[in-house]
């Protein structure tokens, strides 16, 4: 390479997409928490800096970790070895079978996958690229609800260098998308969005039901509605849609959630990537677009589709960055962008019913120094009548989190007219507050976090887990109590305890469950329990899942041979009792991949996971080859010469039946 790679990943890592938060909330060095001073003191007194592990305060109080004392672990499976190779690996006694791959048929009439003869029309009927969130809905009336249902899958983004022959990386300054043409862009657009497939388990093995009446592909062209307080706002109107209520498609759908009324919440994350062009001088959207890193210039779509060119359609980006609700059992239904839930780079939308019956959706905004949110519906969920909840997500209150140094926290409502959210600050209606949720949160003094990814509640304990994946840009003077590490390369997990056990409450207590990274290197400051093995620690927590027994499972994004000496995967994470803070390695992805979508079926008999972008190069390794269609870092899962690597869903089951991870 004569020119250093400037890839999408690196642009995001370097914060060049300027979503970087300009406000001054909670970055002052003097809030370095007294709590953490105490913790560090505790560690110092015990001299653990000198030994191979550091432990959480609760584990210290409890003495040696449970596993070390031979006590029962909630995760009795045999741990796999951390490492990297071209294959996936799962804990002994389990099967990890490929369910569906990029290019496999979804809709009737889909042609067989032919990587040398791709077309947008074929792709729009086939399984899309880069599967991320996975959700499972039991088929009503199924004899075994854990063996027959619908699987919904997000297709987050595309890797042109791995998808198309002879193209190579296009998002590099010296290339500047020269190799892209309209046909390739249209294939990319059809490979985004989501899939609904019907799946059935026979004789222990899962398969896609061909020709299912529920099968659906959602792409960047699928007609969708905008609903809630921002729908119809002038700021959502475009040449194509003078109503501000109808939009084509969804993009960069990362994680998501499933609701108790049977719908799929799918979350638009890095929407800035798809826009290019220059905003007209003096545009009213200049500040708004800058705060979301627009234009991101990471794809060539604006060259062939005017709506992705800011000089032509300055309002089009305001129609993306939302949570989209889809009814998977009704393939004719119009997906709906629920604007009441706010606009930012949504990671996921995992919900739980509050004490008073309202639906509470926790949400991370995945950008360095951005925020943790929750949305609380006005109405109570009607669990007896699914249809009654059809528009429940249109009315409610979005809140943003402030983490105080004393271990307390507050959920601050984003409501037009309250506090600084007034015309003096450029907000003329609730629509403005929602479209510019980030700027509204800046003004409220929300706490700047280390890239909030999945946020999930544990229904068994009432605790809430926030994955903070990493933040290499945080300086020593910028730390705060909830984000205490400068140059936080490996991330951490924060645990919230809602006041009165009520997820709708405005206050909470919090503490750090674990600071991630290699605990054998004292300077990293990782806090896995001392029972954690050399395989059991991880960096960069991203997605997570709480199983039916209330056990936490963490999926990672960013581990690699050069960064942590291991590929990404799934780690079990103890949260209770003496083993709290113990990680245990359960599943490992093939080279170049990230781990997404972990989702359990009822009874935890199947764990669906998504292997995203297998075959990428280890970008941190200067010796790594530039991964391409011709030379990927793995040809998983087919391992056929000439066949590119294919993102795929993997079904993990316990051999002989029973709960996964037992
Ligand atoms: Fe799409 Fe924040 O990962
Ligand atoms: Ca993610
Ligand atoms: Ca990710």
Report CA(382)–ligand 2 centroid distance (Å).
Answer: 30
Element (H, E) at 653: strand 648-654
CA 119 – CA 130 distance, rounded (Å)? 17
Tokens of 247: 């939009």
The average pLDDT across 21-49 equals 37
- Of 31-35, 68-72, 464-468, 608-612, the poorest mean pLDDT is in 31-35
List phi, psi (to 5°) of 24. Answer: -110, 25
Model confidence at 44: pLDDT above 70: no
CA 453 – CA 467 distance, rounded (Å)? 5
- Residue 225: count of CB within 10 angstroms of its CB: 18
- Could you list the beta-strand ranges (E) of 499-568: 507-515, 541-546, 552-556
Say if ligand 1 is within 6 A of residue 546 CB.
no
Q: 514 in helix, strand or coil?
A: strand
Say if ligand 1 is within 6 A of residue 540 CB.
no
Report CA(366)–ligand 1 centroid distance (Å).
Answer: 6
Contact 589, 568 (CB under 8 A): yes
pTM for this structure? 0.92
Q: Which residues contact 584 (CB under 8 A, 6 or more apart)?
A: 73, 75, 77, 79, 532, 533, 535, 536, 571, 572, 573, 574
Tokens of 41: 């003191």
Report CA(81)–ligand 1 centroid distance (Å).
Answer: 26
Q: Which residues contact 45 (CB under 8 A, 6 or more apart)?
A: none
Does residue 295 have a cis peptide bond before it, meaning omega lies within 30 degrees of 0? yes
Q: How confident is the model at residue 9 (pLDDT cuts 50, 70, 90)?
A: low
The length of the chain in residues reads 662
Model confidence at 601: pLDDT above 50: yes
pLDDT value of residue 569:
98
Model confidence at 53: pLDDT above 60: no
* pLDDT tens-digit series, residues 252-272: 999 999 999 999 999 999 999
pLDDT value of residue 624:
82
Model confidence at 22: pLDDT above 90: no
Q: Which ligand is nearest to the CA of 540?
A: 3
CA 365 – CA 400 distance, rounded (Å)? 10
Q: Which residues neighbour ligand 2 (ion) by CB within 5 Å? A: 254, 542
Model confidence at 10: pLDDT above 90: no
Ligand 1 atom with minimal separation from the 366 CA:
2
Report CA(133)–ligand 2 centroid distance (Å).
Answer: 8
List phi, psi (to 5°) of 524. Answer: -70, -30
* pLDDT tens-digit series, residues 372-389: 999 999 999 999 999 999
Sign of CA dihedral 43, 46, 52, 57: negative
Give the residue among 555, 542, 541, 536 at the shortest CA–CA distance from 75. 536
Q: Which ligand is nearest to the CA of 365?
A: 1
Element (H, E) at 573: strand 569-573
Ligand 1 atom with minimal separation from the 156 CA:
1
The average pLDDT across 235-239 equals 98
Ligand 1 atom with minimal separation from the 252 CA:
1
Report CA(366)–ligand 3 centroid distance (Å).
Answer: 9
Say if ligand 1 is within 6 A of residue 616 CB.
no
- Percent over 70 (pLDDT), the chain: 89
Q: Which residues contact 523 (CB under 8 A, 6 or more apart)?
A: none
CA 161 – CA 633 distance, rounded (Å)? 12
* pLDDT tens-digit series, residues 338-359: 999 999 999 999 999 999 999 9
How far, CA to CA in Å, does 606 sit from each of 73, 142, 547, 566?
20, 16, 10, 25
The average pLDDT across 312-322 equals 98
Ligand 1 atom with minimal separation from the 347 CA:
2
pLDDT value of residue 277:
98
Tokens of 1: 């390479």
**DSSP 8-state symbol, 395:** S
pLDDT value of residue 7:
59
Contact 373, 342 (CB under 8 A): yes
- Residue 87: count of CB within 10 angstroms of its CB: 14
The average pLDDT across 55-72 equals 47
pLDDT value of residue 141:
96
CA 13 – CA 491 distance, rounded (Å)? 13
pLDDT value of residue 70:
56
Ligand 1 atom with minimal separation from the 345 CA:
2
* pLDDT tens-digit series, residues 516-559: 999 999 999 999 999 999 999 999 999 999 999 999 999 999 99
Say if ligand 1 is within 6 A of residue 365 CB.
no
* pLDDT tens-digit series, residues 109-164: 999 999 999 999 999 999 999 999 999 999 999 999 999 999 999 999 999 999 99
Give the residue among 344, 338, 348 at the shortest CA–CA distance from 321. 344
- Indicate the Cα dihedral angle 397, 195, 138, 224, nearest 10°: 40
pLDDT value of residue 302:
98
Say if ligand 1 is within 6 A of residue 156 CB.
yes
pLDDT value of residue 62:
40
Report CA(101)–ligand 1 centroid distance (Å).
Answer: 20
Model confidence at 494: pLDDT above 50: yes
pLDDT value of residue 622:
80
Average pLDDT, rounded, for the chain: 91
pLDDT value of residue 72:
79
Report CA(145)–ligand 3 centroid distance (Å).
Answer: 30
Contact 467, 372 (CB under 8 A): no
Say if ligand 1 is within 6 A of residue 651 CB.
no
Report CA(86)–ligand 1 centroid distance (Å).
Answer: 23
List phi, psi (to 5°) of 50. Answer: -90, -15
Report CA(254)–ligand 2 centroid distance (Å).
Answer: 6
Say if ligand 1 is within 6 A of residue 347 CB.
yes
181: Cα within 13 Å, side-chain hemisphere = 4
- Percent over 90 (pLDDT), the chain: 87
Give the DSSP per-residue string, 494-505: EEEEEGGG-TT-
CA 133 – CA 155 distance, rounded (Å)? 8
Give the residue among 246, 252, 240 at the shortest CA–CA distance from 226. 246
Say if ligand 1 is within 6 A of residue 453 CB.
yes
């Amino acid at each position: 390479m004569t020119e250093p790679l400037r890839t999408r990943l690196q642009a995001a890592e370097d914060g060049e997409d300027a979503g970087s938060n300009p406000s001054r909330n909670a970055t002052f060095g003097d809030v370095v928490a007294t709590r953490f001073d105490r913790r560090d003191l505790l560690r110092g007194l015990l001299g653990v800096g000198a030994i191979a592990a550091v432990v959480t305060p609760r584990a210290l109080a409890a003495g040696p970790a449970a596993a070390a004392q031979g006590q029962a672990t909630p995760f009795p499976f045999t741990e796999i070895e951390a490492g990297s190779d071209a294959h996936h690996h799962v804990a002994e006694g389990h099967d990890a079978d490929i369910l569906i791959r990029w290019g496999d048929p979804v809709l009737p009439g889909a042609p067989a996958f032919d990587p040398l003869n791709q077309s947008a029309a074929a792709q729009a009927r086939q399984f899309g690229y880069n599967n991320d969130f996975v959700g499972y809905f039991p088929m009503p009336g199924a004899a075994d609800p854990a063996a027959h249902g619908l699987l919904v899958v997000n297709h987050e983004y595309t890797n042109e260098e791995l998808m198309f022959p002879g193209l190579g990386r296009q998002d590099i300054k010296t290339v500047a998308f020269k190799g892209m043409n309209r046909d390739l862009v249209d294939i990319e657009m059809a490979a985004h969005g989501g899939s609904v497939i019907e799946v059935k388990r026979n004789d222990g093995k899962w398969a896609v039901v061909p020709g299912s009446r529920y099968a659906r592909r959602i792409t960047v062209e699928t007609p969708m509605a905008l609903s809630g307080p921002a729908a119809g706002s002038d700021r959502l109107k475009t040449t194509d849609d003078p109503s501000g209520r109808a939009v084509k498609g969804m993009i960069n759908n990362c994680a998501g959630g499933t609701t108790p009324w049977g719908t799929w919440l799918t979350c638009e994350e890095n929407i800035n990537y798809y826009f290019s062009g220059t905003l007209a001088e003096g545009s009213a959207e200049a500040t708004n677009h800058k705060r979301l890193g627009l234009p991101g210039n990471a794809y060539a779509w604006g060259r062939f589709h005017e709506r992705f060119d800011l000089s032509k359609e300055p309002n089009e980006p305001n129609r993306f960055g939302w949570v989209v609700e889809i009814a998977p059992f009704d393939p004719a239904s119009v997906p709906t962008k629920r604007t009441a839930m706010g606009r930012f780079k949504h990671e996921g939308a995992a919900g739980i019913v509050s004490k008073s019956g309202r639906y509470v959706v926790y949400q991370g905004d995945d950008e360095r120094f951005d925020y943790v949110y929750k949305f609380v519906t006005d109405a109570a969920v009607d669990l007896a009548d699914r249809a009654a909840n059809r528009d429940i997500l249109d009315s409610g209150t979005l809140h943003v989190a402030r983490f105080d140094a004393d271990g307390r926290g507050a959920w601050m409502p984003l409501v037009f007219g309250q506090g600084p959210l007034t015309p003096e600050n450029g907000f003329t209606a609730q629509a403005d507050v929602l479209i510019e949720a980030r700027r509204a949160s800046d003004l409220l003094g929300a706490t700047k976090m280390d890239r909030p990814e999945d946020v999930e509640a544990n229904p068994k304990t009432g605790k809430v887990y926030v994955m903070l994946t990493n933040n290499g840009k945080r300086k020593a003077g910028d730390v705060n109590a909830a984000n205490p590490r400068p140059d936080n390369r490996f991330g951490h997990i924060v645990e919230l305890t809602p006041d009165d056990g009520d997820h709708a409450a405005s206050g909470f207590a919090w503490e750090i469950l674990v600071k991630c990274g290699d605990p054998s290197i004292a300077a990293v400051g990782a806090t896995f329990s001392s029972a954690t093995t050399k395989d059991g620690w991880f960096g960069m927590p991203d997605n997570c899942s709480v199983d039916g027994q209330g056990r936490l499972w963490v999926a990672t994004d960013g581990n690699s041979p050069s960064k942590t000496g291991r590929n990404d995967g799934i780690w079990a994470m103890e949260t209770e009792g003496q083993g709290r803070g113990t990680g245990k390695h359960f599943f490992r992805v093939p080279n170049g991949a990230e781990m997404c979508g972990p989702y359990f079926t009822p009874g935890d008999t199947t764990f669906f996971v998504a292997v995203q972008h297998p075959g990428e190069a280890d970008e941190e390794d200067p010796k790594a080859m530039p991964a391409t269609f011709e030379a990927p870092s793995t040809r998983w899962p087919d391992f056929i010469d000439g066949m590119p690597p294919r993102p795929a869903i993997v079904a993990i089951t316990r051999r002989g039946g029973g709960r996964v991870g037992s």
